[in-house]
Amino acid sequence: MIKRYSTPDTDALFSEEAKMSRWLEIELAVTDALAATGVVPKNVAEECRRKAPVIDAAFVARVEAREAITNHDVAAFVDVLQESIGAPAGSWIHYGLTSTDVVDTGLCWALRDASTLIHDSLNDLIDVITTLATTHRNTAMIGRTHGIHAEPTTFGAKVALWGAQVKRDRERILRARDVIAVCKLSGAVGTYSNIEPEVEARVGQHLSLTPVPATQVVARDRHAEFLYACASVGTTLESIAVELRHLQRTEVNEVREGFAPGQKGSSAMPHKRNPISAETISGLSRVLRANAQVGLQDVPLWHERDISHSSAERIVLPDSASLAVYMTRRMARLLSNLEVDTESMQKNLNALHGVVFSQSVLLALVESGMTRDDAYRIVQSAAATAISSGTHLREVLAADSKVTLSAKQIDSAFDLSRVLRHAGRAIDSLLEK
């Protein structure tokens, strides 16, 4: 992932040094397991660990130089590692393995740890959302359906529903982590032809990865599930971002992204404050969904293995993990610094002269004995008059001889607290552990 949309911890996780460090530990763990099962002399395994090189930029450069000759990254890594340890101990490195044993086990290890980073970032976002929802538990605003004023709601209820969806994404990430936290050390076609299953079991226990049956590769539906979980996180974040973008429109002006001292909203128009974080999140979510599609296309492979998946997933897997973390943290910052304009919310709530209580009036008329269709037509006409004349719906109804509601019934129909009496349920649900 480009630096602009990555984080230091994901950069570190997917660096070449980190990748080869995982490969090294896998190779050494296999040698240890071979020693424990009597295949490799114990002193040889100990020597391999003692003489194992530090995986740093210089080591990576040696591997890359060797790869220019071998045209095979793992073979180059093994060559340089064996050379660093020296013969005869180094000759036991990679015993009974195929390159994918090391690559796939290391990749699953990395994705498991990436899942934890995403999960922890989602936890932080949920905390921010919970604070925002509880702060605005009673902040009334207009609810919109199809972009049109519908009925009153609260900003807290709106935010709480965001949190509920983020919680579901957190569960998806946990499931994906369980699915991807596997290892495979079973040889060229997965038959353990030159290595015993006990070695795989010992290494899996050492790395906290679960051994799974495989061909030469771990089945890619596992990776596709991880990519879907990342895409789902992105889609949830975009759902929040799209709502925030709408609420920031000049004509609405109910929320605003935080604006730092010295920040510029437009290079040309000094008055502008653009919703750049929300728009960025919307755009990046498209990348996550596209990457999930690549993951699904990587599942079908020829026979016991081909490498059609390999080039693609070198891009989409680290990029999706990095983006999921970056976007989640950026959304947390956005919401932490969000300016909520309660006055604009109240103004917009009252903009259509009370017609947003039309359903309450409709039901009151039905309760009084009127047919639903008759009641609907009366309220529909009265609402149109209220909007066109700028007269409050209550006054229009009072002037209509067909409306026989008592003052008490009218008061109840237009009682905001009654309409919103259950709006806090979404917040209460969010607060449940």
pLDDT digits (tens, 9 = 90+) for 71-102: 999 999 999 999 999 999 999 999 999 999 99
pTM of the entire predicted model: 0.95
| pLDDT for the residue numbered 1 | 83
**Is residue 196's pLDDT more than 80?**
yes
Q: Are residues 45 and 102 in the same domain?
A: no
CATH at 45: 1.10.275.10
Q: Are residues 128 and 230 in the same domain?
A: yes
| pLDDT for the residue numbered 267 | 85
| Residue 266 annotated among the catalytic residues of the structure | yes
Please identify which of the residues 146, 303, 401, 417 carries the catalytic annotation: 146
| pLDDT for the residue numbered 264 | 87
CATH at 363: 1.10.40.30
Report the chain's mean pLDDT, rounded to a whole number: 97
SS (H, E, C) the chain: CCHHHCCHHHHHHCCHHHHHHHHHHHHHHHHHHHHHCCCCCHHHHHHHHHHCCCCCHHHHHHHHHHHHHHCCHHHHHHHHHHHHHCCCHHHHCCCCCCHHHHHHHHHHHHHHHHHHHHHHHHHHHHHHHHHHHHHCCCCEEEEEECCEEEEEEEHHHHHHHHHHHHHHHHHHHHHHHHHHCEECCCCCCCCCCCCCHHHHHHHHHHHCCEECCCCCCCCCHHHHHHHHHHHHHHHHHHHHHHHHHHHCCCCCCCEECCCCCCCCCCCCCCCCCCCHHHHHHHHHHHHHHHHHHHHHHCCCCCCCCCCHHHHHHHHHHHHHHHHHHHHHHHHHHHHHCCEECHHHHHHHHCCCCCHHHHHHHHHHHHHCCCCHHHHHHHHHHHHHHHHHHCCCHHHHHHCCCCCCCCHHHHHHHCCHHHHCCCCCHHHHHHHCC
Q: State percent of the chain over pLDDT 70.
A: 100
| pLDDT for the residue numbered 193 | 97
| Residue 146 annotated among the catalytic residues of the structure | yes
Please identify which of the residues 91, 266, 389, 406 carries the catalytic annotation: 266
Q: Are residues 134 and 236 in the same domain?
A: yes
Q: Are residues 197 and 128 in the same domain?
A: yes
Q: Which tens digits make up the pLDDT trace of 169-192?
A: 999 999 999 999 999 999 999 999
- Tally of structural domains, the chain: 3
Q: Are residues 48 and 138 in the same domain?
A: no
**Is residue 433's pLDDT more than 80?**
no
Q: State percent of the chain over pLDDT 90.
A: 96
Q: Where residue 260 falls among pLDDT bands split at 50, 70, 90?
A: confident
Q: Are residues 133 and 191 in the same domain?
A: yes
**Is residue 243's pLDDT more than 90?**
yes
Q: Are residues 45 and 115 in the same domain?
A: no
Q: Where residue 327 falls among pLDDT bands split at 50, 70, 90?
A: very high
Boundary of a domain, candidates 350, 371, 405: 350
Boundary of a domain, candidates 95, 129, 162: 95
Q: Are residues 324 and 387 in the same domain?
A: no
Q: Are residues 203 and 239 in the same domain?
A: yes
Tell me what the mean pLDDT of segment 119-136 comes to: 98
Q: Are residues 386 and 331 in the same domain?
A: no
Q: Are residues 226 and 332 in the same domain?
A: yes
Q: Which tens digits make up the pLDDT trace of 45-54?
A: 999 999 999 9
Q: Are residues 233 and 300 in the same domain?
A: yes
Boundary of a domain, candidates 330, 350, 370: 350
Residues spanned by the domain of 385: 355-413
